[in-house]
Structure 1
Amino acid sequence: MTKLSWGIVGGGEGSQIGLAHRMCSALDDKFQFSAGAMDINPERGNEYGVRLGLDADRAYGSWQEMLDGEKNRADRLDLVTVATPNATHFEITKAFLENGFHVLCEKPMTMTLEEAKEIVALQEKTGQICAVNYGYSGYPMVRQMRDMVRQGELGSVRSFVAEFSHGFHADAADADNPRVRWRYDPKQAGISAQFADCGIHALHLASFVLGQNPKKVSADFAACLDSRELEDDALVALRMEDGAVGRLWSSSIAIGRMHGLTLQVFGEKGGLRWAQEQPNQLYWNPINQSVQILERGQNGLSQSSLDASRLTIGHAEGAPVAFANIYKSIAKDIDARKAGKPVGAQDIDYPTAFDGMVSMAAIDATVRSSKADSVWTDLNI
């Protein structure tokens, strides 16, 4: 089997997200790490890339140098991952798409809704893949939830509750910690902090499972630490396209919460409950029956859930394997395109640029709503 050629912009030495992408891209032997521009310092980036096994001429000093070096190669990259600071995502993603590369961009895809719309239009024009790393949608039991909703096991979905809250920014003593401070600085983070960082993960998870995007929102943002300009706690009510109502809470000052990503979905025939910290179990409660615990990998689950599982039932699988499912799905799409096989919307099992645009529209709408005393606000999609 010939591996696809993969490169990354960003994710230098000491970067948690860089290590995650290198592990996840390699998990299924679909991609070969071939090129990188991994540090804002050219010499440091070149040295680190070579140390990771890159050829010296493909360990680039900048993303511009990487683009110039790769676009005319016979063995050019099949996929470029953009894992740089948020404010640079748009420029880099746009440049690689314009030059015929498939792109996987870290979230948020852009800093503004206008930029997001431009990326979607460019992706549609070029026909290239533009994926966004909402990696939690790669969990097997999340895909099981989606398939149960699709198959009508819940009947019409009436409501959902999504959360993504932690307490790691609750200490006022961290006010001047640069690793924390930038997240609440509009000059670096944009118009939203906690909702744009974590809340959109919970929102995408709900949209992925329900097959519905938000239509309008009512938001209450709060900066609970006086030193912050942007919110560290967000409460959002949502009305979805097909009528479901939702409640979403995201916070970075919830002391005692570790990585509190959860989703509950309530339909006319039953309810589902999943938590990222216990990802192997999905709680299914058919109406007027006892709760059932569905285990990852067990017989009878949907095919997409089983395809997303790597280890036998009872063994722990976590975030790296879920994120690797995004790479696995992208590789399947690229292979089909190389073979001249048609790829329909039903075949795309990874978050797309359109999903990234919906997130930016949600950020834009929730900020406008919060500033207007939580008035119901339409998404501008």
Structure 2
Amino acid sequence: MFDEECHFNQPIRWGMVGGGRNSQIGYSHRNAAQRDGLFKLVAGAFDLNASRGRDFGINLGLDSDRCYADYKEMFAAETQHEEGIQAVSIATPNATHYEICKAALEARLHVVCEKPITFTTEEAQELKLIAEKNNCVIGVMYGYSGFPMVQQAREMVQRGDIGDVRIVNMQFAHGFHNEELELTEPALKWRVTPEVSGSTYVLGDSGTHPFNLCGFITGLKVERLSCMRQSFIKSRTPLEDNAHVMMEFSGGAVGTLWASAVNAGSMHQQKIRIVGEKASIEWWDEQPNQLRYEVQGEPARVLERGMGYLYQDAVGVSPDRIGGGHAEGYFESWANIYHCFALAFDAANRNNQEVLSSLIFPGIDAGIDGVRLCEKCVESAEKNAAWVKYK
């Protein structure tokens, strides 16, 4: 069960870049970070429009002089403030992540960044080096990894319940962008604009989520991959709105990934199925409290969150916040991840490497993997789906 007595002497003083008025992602970050009292929002640069951002911050309860016009102004002022921010969340379009993250790390701030953290692996690795130099922690917001049943799946694989992993099927294939909605929806327009989104659309926006779950649950490392991608809405070219990827992992396992925004009629269809030599497990984000466990020759079982038969030491990273039978979801998963971010930031501040190394959360290495996946998929697709080495 969730330990609500976990507190710091003072919550981590926290700021935000982006995520202003009417931003679903911004609200998600604020809801998750502040739910357990481990973070306190004290500053922000919420909007490209400075007056609108200031008005929004004041309405959130911030002092007007700590609602800034941009991130540069905020970092410069907060480093001089007696009670300046210690961490920042970055909820801006993709093209800005690298420069803002780098500036935050150079200001010796811990960072939570939306993915992709950068456009290139070289940039992401540079951020990793700066973070290590300045004793900062980077968290990347792969929000689905905070579900307790994802943690249960990871523990089952590690304990050998399904035997050696042979096959991993990943997908995140929704249908919400099956038409050219970017003509009227600004939030979609930037996602299909290469200068802002990067070299991919649906692979980076959706496909990296189940790919992150694959690495988190199985620990498998990709050796090479083959990708074909399509722009069914032709105006999105060269960015894809559908892609299929085949992967070969070290040790002999294989995998597939289907990422799509044109799967008409589908809500999310984010699923991951892990096939072992003895059994298979499957998790679906639309039914996050359940994990299917299918042992060859036995009836299929549906494991439920919050039950005593689960591995109790598996829920330390993603604790149950309410008893079994009640629905937990997206906000709880995000709150679990932010809870772990807070513990990591605090451990780094105290230079407690033992605690820091014991925490499991989507950090800079997960961010690097997501960026590399996009790079390699583009490389393969441009070579007519040729197999390319992952590293």
What is the CA deviation profile of residues 286-333 of structure 1, one whole-angstrom value per residue up to 9, with x for unaligned ones? 232221111111113232326521011111111111011111001112
Consecutive unaligned residues of structure 2, counting only runs of 5 or more, are 1-8
**Structure 1 residues 79 and 239, CA, compared in 2 at 3 Å: closer, same or farther?**
same
| Residue number among 364, 377, 380 corresponding to 2:388 in the alignment | 377
Alpha-carbon offset, residue 235 of structure 1? 0.2
Q: 1:260 & 1:295 partners in 2: Cα distance?
A: 20
Structure-2 residue corresponding to 1:282:
291
Structure-1 residue corresponding to 2:308:
299
Give the conservation status (yes or no) of the 8 Å contact 2:322–2:328: yes
Q: 1:212 & 1:74 partners in 2: Cα distance?
A: 45
Q: 1:204 & 1:279 partners in 2: Cα distance?
A: 16
Structure-2 residue corresponding to 1:351:
362
Structure-2 residue corresponding to 1:122:
130
Q: 1:173 & 1:196 partners in 2: Cα distance?
A: 19
- Which region of structure 1 is more displaced relative to structure 2, 314-323 or 242-251? 242-251
Structure-2 residue corresponding to 1:325:
336
Q: 1:259 & 1:91 partners in 2: Cα distance?
A: 31
Q: Residue 192 in 1 paired to residue 197 in 2?
A: no
Structure-1 residue corresponding to 2:35:
27
- Give the secondary structure class of the aligned counterpart of 2:236: coil
Give the conservation status (yes or no) of the 8 Å contact 1:120–1:357: no
Q: What amino acid maps onto 1:362 in structure 2?
A: L
Q: Residue 264 in 1 paired to residue 273 in 2?
A: yes
Q: Residue 54 in 1 paired to residue 62 in 2?
A: yes
| Residue number among 22, 34, 47 corresponding to 1:39 in the alignment | 47
Q: Residue 88 in 1 paired to residue 96 in 2?
A: yes
Q: 2:341 & 2:180 partners in 1: Cα distance?
A: 41
Give the conservation status (yes or no) of the 8 Å contact 2:380–2:386: yes
Q: Residue 4 in 1 paired to residue 4 in 2?
A: no
Alpha-carbon offset, residue 69 of structure 1? 1.2
Give the conservation status (yes or no) of the 8 Å contact 2:181–2:188: no
What is the CA deviation profile of residues 25-79 of structure 1, one whole-angstrom value per residue up to 9, with x for unaligned ones? 1111111111111011111111111111011221111111110111133322222
Structure-2 residue corresponding to 1:73:
81
Give the conservation status (yes or no) of the 8 Å contact 2:166–2:276: yes
| Residue number among 50, 72, 97 corresponding to 2:105 in the alignment | 97
Alpha-carbon offset, residue 196 of structure 1? 1.0
- Give the secondary structure class of the aligned counterpart of 1:249: strand
Q: 2:260 & 2:351 partners in 1: Cα distance?
A: 46
Q: Residue 368 in 1 paired to residue 368 in 2?
A: no
Q: 1:339 & 1:377 partners in 2: Cα distance?
A: 42
Give the conservation status (yes or no) of the 8 Å contact 1:175–1:227: no
Structure-2 residue corresponding to 1:171:
179
Structure-2 residue corresponding to 1:217:
225
Structure-2 residue corresponding to 1:143:
151
Q: What amino acid maps onto 2:315 in structure 1?
A: S
Q: 1:43 & 1:74 partners in 2: Cα distance?
A: 25
Alpha-carbon offset, residue 364 of structure 1? 0.7
Alpha-carbon offset, residue 176 of structure 1? 6.1
**Structure 1 residues 46 and 239, CA, compared in 2 at 3 Å: closer, same or farther?**
same
- Give the secondary structure class of the aligned counterpart of 1:227: helix
Q: Residue 13 in 1 paired to residue 5 in 2?
A: no
Q: Residue 132 in 1 paired to residue 140 in 2?
A: yes
- Give the secondary structure class of the aligned counterpart of 1:272: strand
**Structure 1 residues 132 and 219, CA, compared in 2 at 3 Å: closer, same or farther?**
same
Give the conservation status (yes or no) of the 8 Å contact 1:214–1:362: no
Alpha-carbon offset, residue 174 of structure 1? 5.0
Q: Residue 232 in 1 paired to residue 241 in 2?
A: yes
Structure-2 residue corresponding to 1:241:
250
Q: 2:156 & 2:126 partners in 1: Cα distance?
A: 34
Alpha-carbon offset, residue 99 of structure 1? 1.5
Give the conservation status (yes or no) of the 8 Å contact 2:136–2:345: no
Q: Residue 314 in 1 paired to residue 322 in 2?
A: no
Consecutive unaligned residues of structure 1, counting only runs of 5 or more, are none
Q: 1:152 & 1:217 partners in 2: Cα distance?
A: 26
**Structure 1 residues 181 and 8, CA, compared in 2 at 3 Å: closer, same or farther?**
closer
Q: What amino acid maps onto 1:167 in structure 2?
A: G
Structure-2 residue corresponding to 1:341:
352
Aligned length: 380
**Structure 1 residues 117 and 173, CA, compared in 2 at 3 Å: closer, same or farther?**
closer
Q: 2:47 & 2:95 partners in 1: Cα distance?
A: 15
- Which region of structure 1 is more displaced relative to structure 2, 115-124 or 150-159? 115-124
- Give the secondary structure class of the aligned counterpart of 2:353: coil
Q: 1:124 & 1:242 partners in 2: Cα distance?
A: 30
User: TM-score, normalized by length of structure 1?
Assistant: 0.95
Q: 2:32 & 2:167 partners in 1: Cα distance?
A: 33
Q: What amino acid maps onto 2:164 in structure 1?
A: S
Give the conservation status (yes or no) of the 8 Å contact 2:95–2:196: yes
